[in-house]
Amino acid sequence: MIRVRIVKAKKLSKKKKIFLQLFAVLLALVLTGIFILFMGHNPIEVYVSMVSGSFGTGHRISETIVKTIPLVIAGLGIGVAFKMKFWNIGGEGQMLMGGFGAALIALNFTNLPGVLLMPIMIIVGILFGGIWALIAGILKAKFKTNETIITLMLNYIALKWITYLQYQRWKDPASLGFPKIANFGDNAILPKLFGIHIGWIIALVLVIAVHVFLNYTKKGYEISVLGESENTAKYAGMNVKKLILLTTFISGGLVGLAGAIQASAVANTLSIQLTSNVGNTAIIVSWLSGLNATWTLVVSVAFAVLIQGASYIQTAFQIPQAAADIIQSTILFCVLGCQFFLQYRMVFEFSAKTKMETNMTERGETYGN
């Protein structure tokens, strides 16, 4: 009888980690290459076009950076919660609520100057995203509920709330019956720097801030300790409940900020399509980055290239969106699989027959009949 157990792997050397990661990328390219061949295209040409679609022109570079910004900010937010082993799966809902907070200010204070309106939109977006995550934090701290389920269910509540606003409460009368919320005024749209909205500056500042917070502050150290062992945190005199509430608010606030920026600078309004699945993708970004703020930036750029490149080849090679999604998902599957083997290994155990099997064999019977 063969049994397979999954056990924690020994710490790999840096060379072995790099080799395994490169192998995962190579495997992904081979598998997607076979799929592309079946569609009748040259894999090399498709891969080159994906890179060209991301960096080939100034406009494409701008689009890639624009797609990177929410991934970085949301990935940082998710990473803060994951550092405490609080599994925040509610990025979609927190982004929507952050966008809702920004829209609430933008649509109701249209006469305010941009220099005053924009900061208020950002702050309210952070507050709404943070409060939305804090709901799960309160339930976790007081009743030990499963945060994975709570944050996931809150996604659906947020989505239905924005759907209600878009189709009824905030439906723009000037949209000729189309379910759409009115566009923000010019004073509610983030300004641009070098042709890209200033969200890229906010993202870079947050990368540094989160890195410093998690690695060089007392609260950051406490979050790490709590993530490793709640008993150790209690023994060290840490207020576990308050720490859970603070961490979940920071996590949701960062994700809500991503939603507010998307609503203001990209969509220029609020809609159910605001997140473009960034809230879910940020979970993968955070995990692949090893909860490291600097690597969150690097992984976010890689994801943005993948998304932008996949979008480009749909037009360049007339590849259906479903096929482009398969290419993306195959690459992600291989990379995520690599992360599994970096942390765990499979142990095969060969055991002798059980006593029942032995007795049945002696009587000439077949096991299982």
**Token digits of residue 77:** 């937010």
Backbone angles phi, psi at 337, to 5 degrees: -60, -35
Q: Are strands 196-197 and 192-193 parallel, antiparallel or unpaired?
A: antiparallel
Please tell me the CATH code under which domain 60-316 is placed.
1.10.3470
CA distances from 83 to 166, 193, 219, 359 (A): 35, 33, 12, 52
**Token digits of residue 123:** 């702050």
- For 149-206, what is each residue's pLDDT tens digit? 999 999 999 999 999 999 999 999 888 889 999 999 999 999 999 999 999 999 999 9
Averaged pLDDT for residues 226-237: 90
Whole-angstrom Cα distance, residue 218 to residue 181?
Answer: 43
Q: Indicate the SS3 state at residue 39.
A: coil
Q: Where are the domains of the chain?
A: 1-41+319-361, 60-316
- For 86-136, what is each residue's pLDDT tens digit? 999 999 999 999 999 999 999 999 899 999 999 999 999 999 999 999 999
Q: How many CB atoms lie within 10 A of CB 10?
A: 7
Is the overall model pTM greater than 0.85, yes or no?
yes
Whole-angstrom Cα distance, residue 103 to residue 111?
Answer: 14
